[in-house]
Amino acid sequence: MTAAIGPTYLERLAVRTATVRTALCLGVDPDPEALPARFSADLRGVEAFTEVLLDAALPYAAAVKPNLAFFEAFGADGLAALERLRLRIPSGVPVVIDAKRGDIGSTAARQAVALYDRLGADAITVSPYLGSEAITPLLDRPERFAYVLCRTSNPGAGELQDLQVAGDLDAEWPSEPLYVRIARRVSLWNERFGTAGLVVGATAPDEMALLRSVAPELAFLVPGIGAQGGDVDATMANGPAAGGDAAGRPGGGLLVNISRGIAGAAKGAPDPAAALAAAAAEWSARLPVLQSRP
């Protein structure tokens, strides 16, 4: 791994977090069927609404997280729209592209080019299921970052993530749920690359607390607050890193994603932009920057 030639992702995130004084990550999941009435339920409407969303909410957000699927669904035109929207986001605002990638080494290398180089992602979400072979090309970018799916916020997350795995005598790891083992593995990957964090859902507060004890140094990206009803207080208590490179920085590396909780405010509003700005300001205030725990 080569050394970063500029500020790392966590350094850039800390600067932005200190500026806006919040851990709010603006989720961009533009569902055509959920747009306000004045926006058409097609790509043109999606792009127009997203422009309004970005302009209204960016002043209150530490980062932006576009969900790639909502643009991929429109094919090449959708990806072109995402590229245009990416250019709309100021360089000082980190962009996390929610892609959930991870494949054999050669494929993952091309995924890194597509997401980091073509779409301009500062960070991405990735799957650990194929192991370190799939993760390495996505982590071996010293100025980028990868959030690894660990304990997710969806209702069916426990079906696989809660499965008990055998202890590892060599590593002195006990028998434990799969999501905990993933966190231990990601900690090892982060020791090597310095570019790995975890996706941990706010709908699983007890699991989040356990993961923070197992991986005190990892930055967390937390979905599941807002429309999914996740626990805000538990997230703000256990989300910031307690060690490593993220600790001691504004927010402790924590990002809390809010998507529908902001975008939905425009539905039926006489002034969508004003409603979006007000919702973003409210969530920003509910997710204040925390100092890392001693």
Distance CA 203, CA 198 (A): 15
Distance CA 53, CA 64 (A): 11
H or E element, residue 284: helix 272-286
Q: Which of 267, 279, 259 is nearest to 35 (CA)?
A: 267
Residue 70 C-beta-side C-alpha neighbours within 13 Å: 25
Q: Which of 240, 243, 248, 205 is nearest to 224 (CA)?
A: 205
Cα-Cα-Cα-Cα dihedral sign, residues 120, 223, 68, 147: positive
Distance CA 202, CA 231 (A): 5
In this structure, are strands 96-101 and 24-28 parallel, antiparallel, or unpaired? Answer: unpaired
Distance CA 217, CA 197 (A): 9
SS3 labels along 176-231: EEHHHHHHHHHHHHHHHHCCEEEEECCCCHHHHHHHHHHCCCCCEEECCCCCCCCC
Distance CA 184, CA 182 (A): 5
166: CB partners within 8 A, 6+ apart: 175
Marked catalytic residue, from 4, 15, 31, 100: 100
100 is catalytic: yes
**Residue positions annotated with a catalytic role:** 100
